Structure 1
């Protein structure tokens, strides 16, 4: 069950689209005609202050996958490049070295979104994170993980996991789903990593693209969603077993203004949550402060709590 927001009244999912002239399922105008933050409006001072109560142990875990990962980015994107440039001039001057980093913002951990200037100005994505650790749950249930196949994680599995682990949601939560992608990627040889990128179709597992999934995301009033998979939802999102009317990227980004995080490193977070018996935490994530970015690399850091 999810709490209801005390600051915002949410129209039912059945009322979408709010703007008949817009795309299917849109929530345009939900936060006013000139809004640029979308669902991040749910991260009010009161919501963030309450989320800070999650900090009990002070344990900190980075969710950033190294910028060097993957070594072979998809879709022909250039790999990460690190140059050390010596700036010293003359034999008697002190040695001065600069680090010059060149990378594609869509190659590694990223927030996939609708340009990011306004939420960088608003202070980033800060609030209560909740982890749905599908990979560990699937192993417990002897369900095969298929991170490098176009496999849809059934929404029914997500429902069962949430119920079994007693996970609850609050308005403004940031939802994370672990599929096991980064763990499986780390086990690949260099040749296998390269072959993965060179495939004719970018097949990766992800959450089911369906009306049921969208209803779940809307009714729980998440501010943002993220995962370790390259696309959060199954990739490619449209196939013989999917309904093209419910592509999550189209509904969440353009329709609701809900950022989608991709290729987060959730391995240490998963281990820590299992050790503590907790799946909620305080999250702080700040996109690069560059205007008009379509994708944004960032720094993400959660603080975990216990029941104490």
Structure 2
């Protein structure tokens, strides 16, 4: 039986710009704020998230670091053994194994978290800061170090693939605001102020089953959100967004805008967003635990000036 796919309805650039203005958080937390929506994650909300820990089960939401080049991984990680146990460092036989890792801070095969200096729109970063703040040396403002104390809070998985009763959404399919609300109702959860939205399309399941594909513009594409979900996130005061894929529907449905979700979230809202998660294990854990909420602990690397960093966010049940 042929599936009926759900490509997103088209959006004009004029409507996109109006939406951008409507969800702006510039100045909400002061002119120099560089934490954005993480300001919703107050100590009280973090403490409340800890009460969700019942079984003590922990689940990584990261893809294993990918060292193999492919159509969705043009910049594979470089991992070298720099010292092996065949060279003892003392006469009594003591030895150390050591290695070296070099990798991109972004990409479709690297689970990473974006900094607020990562995306600009019309020459501006979040909070109206000039894009020129980011130079070849990085930038002090809006760097990933603003998240150095961790991203900890209540995570809620909205599983679009489960809702549609498929293993994964196909490239180019979009999930709307109405569908996110339907998933909430089906799963018996509701996202609110300071929550972390964990969003599954089955992107990683498709890659494991069918192999890698070019999911960028000009390639096969990927499933993601319709832009009408962004005002919903703004209204709900969601603190962070953790999708498989990167949340974007490719090809884009917005006129002349290949990646509309990123500027709306990062530049307008100052939202903390992560890309390229593996949500297959956490989806299974949610089914087995019988709940779709859990504590999230994510620890970005403390890399001065950086536009993002690989990380390993963990769900705790």
TM-score where L is the length of structure 2: 0.76
> Is residue 2:199 matched to residue 1:177?
yes
Moved segments of 4+, more than 4 Å: 87-94, 242-246
Query: How far off its partner does 1:25 sit?
Result: 3.7
Q: What corresponds to 1:254 in structure 2?
A: 267
Using the alignment, how far apart are the partners of 1:29 and 1:263 within structure 2? 30
Q: What corresponds to 1:102 in structure 2?
A: 102
Query: How far off its partner does 1:154 sit?
Result: 3.0
Using the alignment, how far apart are the partners of 2:158 and 2:204 within structure 1? 15
Q: What corresponds to 2:133 in structure 1?
A: none
Picking from 75, 78, 84, the partner of 1:78 is 75
Query: How far off its partner does 1:260 sit?
Result: 1.6
Q: Report matched runs for 1:20-99 at 5 Å.
A: 25-68=23-66, 71-72=69-70, 74=72, 77-86=74-83, 88=87, 92=91, 94-99=94-99
What is the Cα-based RMSD across aligned positions, in Å? 3.0
Q: 1:236 to 1:294 in 2, by over 3 A?
A: farther
Query: How far off its partner does 1:244 sit?
Result: 5.3
TM-score where L is the length of structure 1: 0.78
Query: How far off its partner does 1:78 sit?
Result: 1.8
Query: How far off its partner does 1:94 sit?
Result: 4.3
Query: How far off its partner does 1:45 sit?
Result: 0.9
Aligned to 1:51, the other structure's residue is in SS state: helix
Is residue 41–residue 153 contact of structure 2 (8 Å, CA) maintained in 1? yes
Aligned to 1:184, the other structure's residue is in SS state: helix
> Is residue 2:149 matched to residue 1:129?
no
> Is residue 2:164 matched to residue 1:138?
yes
The count of aligned residue pairs is 270
Give the unaligned 5+ runs of structure 2. 1-16, 117-142
Query: How far off its partner does 1:173 sit?
Result: 0.4
Query: How far off its partner does 1:170 sit?
Result: 2.8
Q: What corresponds to 1:288 in structure 2?
A: 301
Is residue 284–residue 301 contact of structure 1 (8 Å, CA) maintained in 2? yes
Deviation sequence 1:140-168 (CA, Å, 0-9, x none): xxx68444x22222332222111222212
Aligned to 1:126, the other structure's residue is in SS state: strand
Using the alignment, how far apart are the partners of 2:291 and 2:240 within structure 1? 20
Picking from 240, 254, 275, the partner of 2:288 is 275
Query: How far off its partner does 1:293 sit?
Result: 1.4
Aligned to 1:67, the other structure's residue is in SS state: coil
Using the alignment, how far apart are the partners of 2:66 and 2:226 within structure 1? 29
Q: What corresponds to 2:145 in structure 1?
A: 117
Q: 1:91 to 1:118 in 2, by over 3 A?
A: closer
Query: How far off its partner does 1:97 sit?
Result: 2.9
Give the unaligned 5+ runs of structure 1. 1-15
Q: 1:276 to 1:267 in 2, by over 3 A?
A: same
Aligned to 2:190, the other structure's residue is in SS state: coil
Q: What corresponds to 2:190 in structure 1?
A: 168
Is residue 205–residue 235 contact of structure 1 (8 Å, CA) maintained in 2? yes
Aligned to 1:288, the other structure's residue is in SS state: coil
